[in-house]
Amino acid sequence: MSEITVYERPKTWTPDVSSHYCPGCGHGIAHRLVCESIDELGIQNDTIGLAPVGCAAMIYDYIETDFCEAPHGRAPAVATGIKTVRPDKIVFTYQGDGDLASIGMGEIVHAANRGMNLTVIFINNAIYGMTGGQMAPTTLIGQKATTCPLGRDVAVSGYPIRVSEMLATLPAPGYITRVTLSQPKYIIKAKQAIKKAFQNQMEGKGFSLVEVLSTCPTNWGLRPVEAFQWLMDEMVPYYPLGTFKDFE
Amino acid sequence: MAKGRITVLEQYCKSCGLCVAACPKKVLRISERTNAKGYRPVEQFTEGCIGCAMCAVSCPDAAIQVFKEQE
């Protein structure tokens, strides 16, 4: 009788470090999937990440690859620069919805429109997490946040932006998909998508974006398990899962 | 059914309970003791683990290691 290891901490995850994220935060799962993908592709020493502004600003403390911190929303622009001078490196950005979909909307649209050979991990949790739960461009209609205590009003704030669908209308980007972290089966699919996004870049195919529907239990005011249920009940109907564009 | 076991790296656990909800065999629970951060780490309280690693897959802090017995 012998024993095999089914699961252990990814090698790219910084050893002996406990993350600062709130209990049950989806960032931890997404970080882990990025680490596992990098491990499996064997690209730890060739990867350069771009840290966003937001809760994940300290991502470089948790993922042991090279990292560069970009100003708010500018990660795709900085990544474009790094990828241009070091095309042999694997460059990825990890951005939240406040970072990518609001102040960084210009950068992501133009990086996608150029078809830059980049990997973008976009975490959509429908709220600004770090700054205290303000309304984000992705906040759902009627969803309460500190800057819309009565719920998002379309007449005042417009509609939530479906970033993946919008970018998929551009001719240049190659792989755009939306996944979620709500249950183990979806997490396994999310892992496949993230790994594929890295693989696309290694093969020089072009721009890949994975939108990850995640939670913010603290600012949503829900327990972690309830938050993932809320995600499935409320967010997934508005942000349907699926692949909007692929290279084939 | 294959027999498995888990090791919880208690210093990283934040007792979010996602693994407890994900476990198909319901062999996990939040324990009574506290770790250095003040959270109550999760524990396996009964036999029946099959080593499916659903708990580890849903853990945001990579705090669960899973092992499986093999013939």
Cα(A153)–Cα(A248) distance, rounded to whole angstroms? 40
Question: With an 8 Å Cβ cutoff, are B70 and A7 in contact?
Answer: no
pLDDT digits 0-9 by tens, A59-106:
999 999 999 999 999 999 999 999 999 999 999 999 999 899 999 999
Nearest-neighbour CA in chain B from A23: distance (Å): 5
Q: Pick from A246, A108, A231: which is nearest to A166 by CA?
A: A108
Cα(A55)–Cα(A223) distance, rounded to whole angstroms? 18
Query: What is the total count of domains within chain A?
Result: 1
Is residue A85 within 8 angstroms of chain B, CB to CB?
no
pLDDT over threshold 90, residue B2:
no
Has residue A108 been placed in a domain?
yes
Helices (H), A42-183: 75-85, 97-98, 105-113, 154-157, 163-168
pLDDT over threshold 90, residue B71:
no
Query: Which DSSP symbol is given to A190?
Result: H
Domain that holds residue A113: 26-135+163-245
Is residue B4 within 8 angstroms of chain A, CB to CB?
yes
Beta strands in A52-165 (DSSP E): 66-69, 90-96, 119-124
Report which of residues A147 and A247 the model is more confident about: A147
Has residue A144 been placed in a domain?
no
| CATH number of the domain to which A122 belongs | 3.40.50.970
Containing A41, the helix (H) or strand (E) segment is helix A26-41
- Tokens 């680490």 correspond to A35
Has residue A14 been placed in a domain?
no
- Please report the ipTM that was assigned to this predicted complex: 0.93
In chain B, what are the domains?
Answer: 4-68 (3.30.70.3270)
Has residue A150 been placed in a domain?
no
Q: What does the block give as tokens for A112?
A: 């996608």
Nearest-neighbour CA in chain B from A236: distance (Å): 18
Has residue A156 been placed in a domain?
no
